[in-house]
């Protein structure tokens, strides 16, 4: 089978690999669509493990079923979670499934930028999601990122009528804009350094946009009735964005650090000014649980979060290198999808 082998963001090669063989409890999936995630282009996080077949935002069809699998059959249209929890450890029993060691070790074989992949038995047991007829393979690639966004807003305790500032209007930021609006946020404001993405944020529901090159807290007060934001969601790892976030949160508000920084970055924080006097909460969110996937799928199925309009590029495996460049450059693209079955 053909795969897009990642060596770095400028070196993605079309290579051949054997189609994975499945064992009892496993599934073989023909990948129809796979989204390129922002984490796929984080070279500092992946270079020491290259070359890799990446890709975890999938929609596909089951083409072979391992012995003992009874819930799924050949021909089923599915999405799947690449990371799944054990459901029995200290973290899972406390509802912190994404802290589970099993979740952090599980994965696809090889990855979604391939014509086929094997789902291990543990993923089949708790991480496969049947696609309703009204959800396309392309829309299925949004289930995982939307699940992560859903978990993040839940951890940040988004309340109806909250004012929300989304810093960084890439795909994650735009999904936060869409979901916050769907969940009843009072006013959603978005920032970015790129005009193309600021225009996209307005299309997807931001009431106002602010160039990140401006004085963001001051402009925020101008568009938010003199107040800062009840919830600030940081969707970029840039240190300047983090500092903007800390200055843009209202008293009693929350800052959600949704995107990671590069390794080794630290930010000084004033305990008295931020916490003791202003009662600000800082929180983070990593990944999503299978329950979040199921909720995300339902939000897409119901049209509550309309995601297909976010797709800007549909590329073949041979064009995966272009896709990685588009996502890494973060310019005039939003959602880039690789279609492994697409003819070159």
pLDDT of residue 343: 83
Portion of the chain with pLDDT greater than 70, in percent? 100
| Mean pLDDT (whole number) for 90-94 | 98
pLDDT band (50, 70, 90) for residue 331: confident
For residues 139 and 59, the answer to whether their CB atoms sit within 8 Å is yes
Q: pLDDT tens digit string along 94-115?
A: 999 999 999 999 999 999 999 9
Q: pLDDT tens digit string along 247-274?
A: 999 999 999 999 999 999 999 999 998 9
Q: Which domains does the chain have, with CATH numbers?
A: 2-146+288-338 (3.90.180.10), 157-284 (3.40.50.720)
Q: Which burial class, exposed, middle or buried, applies to 260 when counting CB atoms under 10 A from its CB (0-12, 13-18, 19+)?
A: middle
Average pLDDT value for the chain: 97
pLDDT of residue 288: 97
| Mean pLDDT (whole number) for 5-23 | 98
- Asked whether residue 12 carries a pLDDT value surpassing 80, the answer given is yes
Q: Residue 179 to residues 79, 236, 245, 307, 340: CA-CA distances in angstroms?
A: 20, 18, 20, 10, 29
The CA-based dihedral angle spanning residues 285, 291, 295, 296, taken in that order and rounded to the nearest 10 degrees:
50
Which H or E run includes 166? strand 163-167
For residues 257 and 242, the answer to whether their CB atoms sit within 8 Å is yes
- Asked whether residue 64 carries a pLDDT value surpassing 80, the answer given is yes
Tokens 């993605």, residue located: 12
pLDDT of residue 195: 97
Within 8 A by CB and 6+ apart from 43, the residues are 8, 9
Structure tokens at 293: 């996937």
Structure tokens at 73: 């059959």
For residues 30 and 77, the answer to whether their CB atoms sit within 8 Å is no
pLDDT of residue 303: 96
pLDDT of residue 133: 97
CA–CA dist 23, 210 (Å, integer): 53
pLDDT band (50, 70, 90) for residue 344: confident
Tokens 């931020």, residue located: 274
- Asked whether residue 214 carries a pLDDT value surpassing 80, the answer given is yes
Q: Which of 39, 53, 59, 60 is nearest to 113 (CA)?
A: 53
Q: pLDDT tens digit string along 139-179?
A: 999 999 999 999 999 999 999 999 999 999 999 999 999 99
For residues 185 and 161, the answer to whether their CB atoms sit within 8 Å is yes
DSSP calls for 104-143:
HH---BS-SSBSEEEE-HHHHHHSEEEPPTTS-HHHHTTH
Q: pLDDT tens digit string along 273-329?
A: 899 999 999 999 999 999 999 999 999 999 999 999 999 999 999 999 999 999 999
Strand pairing class (281-284; 249-257) = parallel
Half-sphere exposure of 121 (CA within 13 A, CB side): 9
Estimate the crossing angle of helix 290-301 against helix 143-155, to 10 degrees.
110
Peptide bond into 51 cis (omega under 30): yes
Structure tokens at 22: 């499945």
Q: pLDDT tens digit string along 21-60?
A: 999 999 999 999 999 999 999 999 999 999 999 999 999 9
pLDDT of residue 293: 98
The overall pTM is greater than 0.85: yes
């Amino acid at each position: 089978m053909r795969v897009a082998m990642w060596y770095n963001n400028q070196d993605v090669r079309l290579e051949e690999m054997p189609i994975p063989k499945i064992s009892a409890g496993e599934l073989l999936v023909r990948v129809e669509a796979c989204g390129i995630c922002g984490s796929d282009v984080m070279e500092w996080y992946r270079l020491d493990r290259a070359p890799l077949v990446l890709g975890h935002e999938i929609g596909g069809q089951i083409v072979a079923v391992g012995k003992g699998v009874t819930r799924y059959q050949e021909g089923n249209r599915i999405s799947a979670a690449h990371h799944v929890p054990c459901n029995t450890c200290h973290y899972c029993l406390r509802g912190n499934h994404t802290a589970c060691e099993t979740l952090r070790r599980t994965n696809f074989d090889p990855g979604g930028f391939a014509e086929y992949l094997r789902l291990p038995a543990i993923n089949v047991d708790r991480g496969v999601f049947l696609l309703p007829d009204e959800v396309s393979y392309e829309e299925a690639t949004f289930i995982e990122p939307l699940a992560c966004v859903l978990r993040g807003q839940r951890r940040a305790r988004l309340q109806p009528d909250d004012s929300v500032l989304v810093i960084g209007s890439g795909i994650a930021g735009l999904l936060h804009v869409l979901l916050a609006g769907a969940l009843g946020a009072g006013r959603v404001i978005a920032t970015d350094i790129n005009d193309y993405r600021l225009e996209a944020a307005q299309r997807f529901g931001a009431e106002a946009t602010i160039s990140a090159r401006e004085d963001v807290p001051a402009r925020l007060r101008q568009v938010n009735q003199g107040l800062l934001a009840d919830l600030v969601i940081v969707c970029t790892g840039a240190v300047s964005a983090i500092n903007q976030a800390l200055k843009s949160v209202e008293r009693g508000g929350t800052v959600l650090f949704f995107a990671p920084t590069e390794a080794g970055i630290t930010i000084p924080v004033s305990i008295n000014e931020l916490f003791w006097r202003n009662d600000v909460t800082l929180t983070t969110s990593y990944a999503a649980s299978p329950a979040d996937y199921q909720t995300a799928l339902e939000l897409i199925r119901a049209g509550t979060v309309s995601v297909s309009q976010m797709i800007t590029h549909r590329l073949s495996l041979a064009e995966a290198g272009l896709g990685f460049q588009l996502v890494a450059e973060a310019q005039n693209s939003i959602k880039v999808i690789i279609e492994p079955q697409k003819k070159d």
